[in-house]
A and B are shown apart, each in its own frame.
Chain A
């Protein structure tokens, strides 16, 4: 029988250990995980790109739910273990859930340190450790107010850069005289400060916090010297402490962390500790590279390989703020018997320092140009004697007597066993070997097959250089992402060429643009159909076979092959007549489920395909038309009751919503478009998270756009304010038309806006009124060909045949 393995904590360290364990000894353990955070294992080090908006949470998930299912792991999300009972070998969660173990792994990570100054527990004071912290920061950032980050280390600077990218006015307070003093020497710290300040972030060093001010929430911060800085948000990033309370209560030996031996066992041989919570060789660790080493050792031990030992290695530090390059490793304090070599090019913002002892590199700090970091780090780890290289050492391996440096020289000079990806411990030879063996040609391929650069991503440049080195010209990193494997062209080029070459059918387009497959694939065909349709309204004949099934049959396919049907309810308004028609249809066709959707209308689920035309005919008869709930098209315009009924309403929000929906329904768009109109800033129709939203105010209409509330959550940006309904309609229509012309297929408005820039959109639909009018006119023209109810078109005659089976041979069973 499988032994029971229980894991407390589901961070990066145990995630890696389980991966290795399932590789080495599949099926040996029945695994149960308790995680206080209510989610799967994700790449914690990539929280900063999520904060800055460069990545979404989905992109940083390491193990999705299916991984746990596939490996038969029971994951308790949001369960905190309060007690370990070593006698009975059980753990108990705060809600009373218990689990027995044969082997236990404690991987509870760290807790962020909170400085106990007055006011530290006010709402608005956060730490920076998990997704909840990021979400709280994003919420606070919507106010575009002032933020103070306490702590000018790695985490603090990443938080500051992210909040500043999100539009906040940020001040960093740092206790020491220079930033990141643990990783950088004062010179590099000074260069970093200049760069951070150049981004509009205030830096105050030697700043000692006295109190956090505020009554019900944070309003500011006071320093020991009396300075007061106003703030709506305070982020404390001053350090972490091993999270070892439950281990201590269970009587395990705990020092700075949970003490483990070289096999990662705690003072109880059936209990391992792993990750930031563990103390090995008298040290605790706060970077993933050594934690992944620990994970390997735990996996080996659990799979029966008792020779595995944890031997901590030197780690290098990089800062993950786009545009700031720094690298440091080893020990760079001045000491007797140490020499240094320094290279400084102030004009180019480049600084390099090597610290030598007995002709060996013991430390390095690099700022500005860090391309040789891996080479120096390799010399450092090997402890190689550099006497022969000394004269030109500081220039790196590419130094070639003054000739122009080949950018790949540094990587070329690395030996095969030099480490490229620190987080995952992947060396150069492993990467070039896989590139050659499997014929890999892209960064994504290398990531998939080696795990190099999948964690913090700072070695991406090196991996790309290895691709260049191994493949030569065959690798072109600057190339645009092709639309799909059928072509080398990207979405924007294709849109441009459709106009330039007047390509008006999909076969013509594939011919002219030298498609590599005979008739495309499920990825390119729907995109091309949309592009040609949007470019040539009235001329292009829609190709149903290039549409996803939902758009082809005007209903949403369900998991059992039946369909759901959603009629329009203009602006969310309905009537007794419509409801009666829906009720009759439900009875007549025995539709199993009727549901109110999140879009203010009614969904009938579980309709058989062959019944669809008849269902539509009945709905049409009552005046109901297709709601396009299935389309890359205008979905809903949600409204609130507005001046019709509400005591706070300032404008006729319901009327305006209906007007917009009636004007714009039927038009095809790159991805779905959802709108809402609220009658006052209380915003009951949730207009500020829609693709387009209107918030009515006394003086007119605030037009918002580029919100999201699905895979990503993002408040809208304000596009403009207008005084009348007519103007509001014109701006919105022009905005959507611009999106129809520029958006890439499946790119929602918020992603399009981020790509092309809010200013360029503002210029086209607000500032330049001629352009706005022209966009409006083009939309109106294309609507002439789109505002026919697709249901009405399909309810009769030959057009219904596709919904029926062509033959019924079920009788053959009986004849058997």
Chain B
């Protein structure tokens, strides 16, 4: 496990609505933080592999999100596009401590291609 200093605090667990999302501005593309119906949290780059749609604005169902622009379905666990389409969005390691959401600093500062 990484040391605590390798993690960045981005806010409280309660700041993210259930079956909803919030965004975090970051180097490279923004990051979307999702909360599924059972309270699990996920972080992925907020950019659909199809045509760059903001995934944070999609409908969250199970552990997937449907992109608001053309309905691609993306797994929040793996970042893989589901169904007939192919593609992948980068996931960011996320941890929860004392009701706070932490993101992996290493994954953040490394710029996405």
Show the binding face of A for B, using Cβ within 8 Å. Answer: 517-522, 525-526, 544-550, 553, 557, 559-561, 801-802, 805-810, 812-813, 815-816
Contact = CB atoms under 8 A, between A and B. Distances in A.
B54 interface: yes
Contact of A546 (B11, B59, B68): B59
A520 B109 CA distance: 35
27 contacts: A519-B61, A522-B66, A522-B71, A525-B61, A526-B59, A545-B19, A545-B59, A546-B59, A547-B59, A548-B59, A549-B68, A553-B57, A557-B54, A557-B69, A561-B53, A561-B54, A802-B17, A805-B22, A806-B10, A806-B22, A806-B23, A806-B33, A808-B24, A812-B108, A813-B27, A813-B109, A815-B109
A793 to B, nearest CB: 16
Given A545-B19, A812-B105, A805 B59 contact: no
Nearest to B103: A809
Contacts of B11: 806-807
Nearest to A815: B109
Given A517-B61, A806-B22, A816-B109, A801 B15 contact: yes
A522 B19 contact: no
Contacts of B26: 809-810, 812
Interface in B67-83: 68-69, 71, 73
Interface string B31-55: 1010011100000000000011110
Contacts of B19: 519, 545-546
A520 B61 contact: yes
Given A561-B57, A806-B10, 17 more contacts: A518-B62, A519-B36, A520-B61, A521-B62, A526-B59, A545-B17, A545-B20, A545-B60, A549-B58, A561-B54, A806-B24, A808-B24, A809-B25, A812-B26, A813-B27, A813-B111, A816-B109
B81 to A, nearest CB: 14
Given A548-B68, A557-B68, A807 B25 contact: yes
Contacts of B31: 809
A545 B62 CA distance: 13
Nearest to B70: A559
A809 B62 contact: no
Given A518-B62, A519-B37, A559 B69 contact: yes
Contacts of A816: 27, 109
Interface residues of B, number: 42
B62 A519 contact: yes
Contacts of B109: 812-813, 815-816
A548 B66 CA distance: 10
A805 B69 contact: no
Contact of B59 (A517, A522, A806): A522
A805 B30 contact: yes
B58 A807 contact: no
A525 B27 contact: no
B88 interface: no
Contact of B27 (A545, A548, A806, A810): A810
Interface string B70-113: 01010000000000000000000000000000010100110100
Nearest to B64: A521
A718 to B, nearest CB: 38
Nearest to A814: B27
Contacts of B66: 521-522
A151 to B, nearest CB: 44
Contacts of A549: 57-59, 68
Contacts, number: 101
A805 B32 CA distance: 9
A348 to B, nearest CB: 46
B33 to A, nearest CB: 7
A812 B108 CA distance: 8
A815 B27 CA distance: 11
B35 to A, nearest CB: 10
B59 A809 contact: no
Contacts of B62: 517-519, 521
**Pairs of residues from A and B, 7 with the lowest C-beta to C-beta distance, nearest first:** A522-B66, A813-B27, A807-B10, A545-B19, A561-B54, A806-B22, A549-B57
Nearest to B36: A519
Contacts of A525: 59, 61
Nearest to B26: A809
A809 B61 contact: no
Contacts of A521: 61-62, 66, 73
Nearest to A546: B59
A89 B10 CA distance: 66
A557 B68 CA distance: 8
* Residue among B53, B58, B59, B68 with the highest chain A CB neighbour number at 10 A: B59
Contacts of B58: 522, 549
Nearest to B38: A518
B27 A812 contact: yes
Nearest to B54: A561
Nearest to B11: A806
Contacts of B71: 522
A487 to B, nearest CB: 13
A816 B105 CA distance: 11
A557 B73 CA distance: 18
A517 B58 CA distance: 18
Nearest to A560: B52
A559 B61 CA distance: 23
B57 A557 contact: yes
A518 B64 CA distance: 11
Nearest to B62: A518
A254 to B, nearest CB: 45
Contacts of A547: 59
Contacts of A548: 59, 68
Nearest to A522: B66
A783 B109 CA distance: 51
A806 B108 contact: no
Contacts of A815: 109
A610 to B, nearest CB: 9
Contacts of B103: 809
B61 A805 contact: no
B8 to A, nearest CB: 6
A808 B27 CA distance: 9
Contacts of B73: 521-522
Given A518-B37, A519-B37, A816-B109, A808 B57 contact: no
A769 B19 CA distance: 45
Contact of A810 (B8, B25, B51, B59): B25
Nearest to B48: A561
A802 B61 contact: no
Contacts of A560: 52
A549 B28 CA distance: 24
Nearest to B46: A561
B17 A809 contact: no
Contacts of A807: 10-11, 24-25
Contacts of B108: 809, 812
B23 to A, nearest CB: 5
Nearest to A507: B37
B46 to A, nearest CB: 8
B108 to A, nearest CB: 6
